[in-house]
Amino acid sequence: MENIEKKVFDYFQEMSQIPHGSGNTDEIRNYIVKFAEDHGLWYRTDQANNIIIKKPAARGYEDAEPVILQGHIDMVCEKTAASDKDMAKEGLDIKTDGDWMYAEGTTLGADDGIAVAMALAVLDSEELGHPALECIFTSDEEIGMVGARQLDLSDVTARKMINIDSEEEGIFTVSCAGGTNAVVNLPIEYCESLGTVLDITVDGLTGGHSGIMIVKERANSNELMGRLLSEISKEHEISLVSINGGKVGNVICKKTEAKVFVSSDEAAQIKEEIAAFEEVLKHEFTATDPELKITAAEAAGMGNKISVMTEESFDRIVTWLMIAPNGIQNMSAVAAGEVETSLNLGAVSTEESEVKFTYAVRSSSASRKEMLMDKLWYLSGILSGSVSFDGDYPGWEYLKDSALRETAVKVFTEQYGHEPEILGIHAGLECGLIAEKIGEGFDAISIGPDLVDVHTPDEKMSIESAKRTFRLVCGILEACK
């Protein structure tokens, strides 16, 4: 087993040297295809860069039902302000600190590179007992499960699936929320004025995955920037030149920047008021976002004559940031402590004639997901804007009688000495889409090692937890006779 475990980390290290952010998966697909060819395994890939690899059953398992191992090949690419790494072209700088593995200055990509590495190690093993394997590697999961949507499963025969895309050891995820992506566009117009532009930045927030970490009620820099603009405008005539924060809907935004037009005579006073408001926010978020900071400095090279958003445009943008729903909307009435419905304003960007707001909407209640979509539609209409939805994905319903779960619980209990937690998750998993495609008889669990701060440059993976999780995967496969 020690030799197989080593291969997990060998494969993970190799993949970390291949850029594989969402939308940039050609090279990692080629790596996995070459693996299949080198090992003489049947494989199929498609235009979406999904890959399916099949391996025959080990001796003694010929009559066992086949099993799917599943994970995604893309990662979220985030880096610190100090990092100059081009994550679209360069590999990661993998480091260890005791039990923790991380990437210096960037996300680690253990979400979900560790799943791919574990599956490759199983496919590479000649000593492990297992049923016939059908390993599914999907692409672009982090930007709306794009690969899973296009996945053709017509030649997949397995109905049991182990998804390795969870982030806490000892928890079996057995259901997940459905969701959609929403983009709100609000029109803006410009005029020219004389004055001073302040570069204002809300930064230093904790951030995190907007499904997993939304329950922590961490600060969202886009929302805080809206509050700050509203606060300043109570006593001063100001306007916006631009506002930008975040990249994707499913990450709690950590940093937002705005260029704000002010009267030159009031610039110093406004900076003092911003510093005072920073203290208010620090007090509010002292437990969740202790590194929160707001900076304001006069913009260089702007000149005195500035193109700024009109008063009507400014009011429209600030109104949206102040009144549009964000964060937890409903807690579960049946599972104590679990979020049922939420949305996250992950990104704000200023375009030529509009400001774009990008959301991830999630709920385990289809009707409440629809309600949130309706809210965004009504509010955007009132403010002369529009909203579009894409990437809708179904939830994954809890299966009352699950042979795979029963086997996995037995193996876990034997290995760990106690039973695992059985939970649903307030995040999208590809299990929902795959369940919809496979249909009747689909039986799955989602597991994974301890990962912290995923989707941020602080992402870390416990090495020992990854080893134990891999032994659990192997144990479940060996027990599936």
What is the rounded CA–CA span in Å between residue 309 and residue 307?
7
Q: How many CB atoms lie within 10 A of CB 334?
A: 8
126/32 same-domain check: yes
- Express each pLDDT in 339-374 by its tens digit: 999 999 999 999 999 999 999 999 988 899 999 999
40/139 same-domain check: yes
Indicate the DSSP class of residue 131.
-
Average pLDDT over residues 464-481: 97
Average pLDDT over residues 375-382: 98
pLDDT for 175: 87
CA neighbor of 459 nearest in space, from 112, 103, 94 = 103
In the structure, what pLDDT confidence band is assigned to residue 3 with cuts at 50, 70 and 90?
confident
Residue-number span of the structural domain to which 279 is assigned: 181-393
405/455 same-domain check: yes
Instruction: Label the pairing between strands 354-363 and 133-138.
Output: unpaired
251/285 same-domain check: yes
Pick from 393, 419, 453: which residue ends a domain?
A: 393
pLDDT for 176: 87
386/409 same-domain check: no
Pick from 360, 393, 426: which residue ends a domain?
A: 393
> What CATH number corresponds to the domain at position 405?
3.40.630.10
> What CATH number corresponds to the domain at position 349?
3.30.70.360
Residues known to be catalytic:
74, 141
300/430 same-domain check: no
Instruction: Label the pairing between strands 160-163 and 251-252.
Output: unpaired
Kindly report the average pLDDT of the chain as a whole number.
95
Pick from 341, 358, 393: which residue ends a domain?
A: 393
424/381 same-domain check: no
CA neighbor of 24 nearest in space, from 71, 89, 70, 86 = 89
pLDDT for 338: 84
Domain count, the chain: 2
Average pLDDT over residues 96-117: 98
- Express each pLDDT in 193-212 by its tens digit: 888 999 999 999 999 989 88
Which residues 6+ apart lie within 8 Å of 406 measured at CB?
Answer: none
Contact 70, 136 (CB under 8 A): yes
34/143 same-domain check: yes
pLDDT for 304: 66
Is the per-residue pLDDT at 277 higher than 80?
yes
373/457 same-domain check: no
Residue with tokens 């099993």: 67
pLDDT for 302: 65
In the structure, what pLDDT confidence band is assigned to residue 303 with cuts at 50, 70 and 90?
low
77/206 same-domain check: no
18/73 same-domain check: yes
What is the rounded CA–CA span in Å between residue 54 and residue 455?
30
- Express each pLDDT in 312-346 by its tens digit: 999 999 999 999 999 999 998 877 788 999 999 99
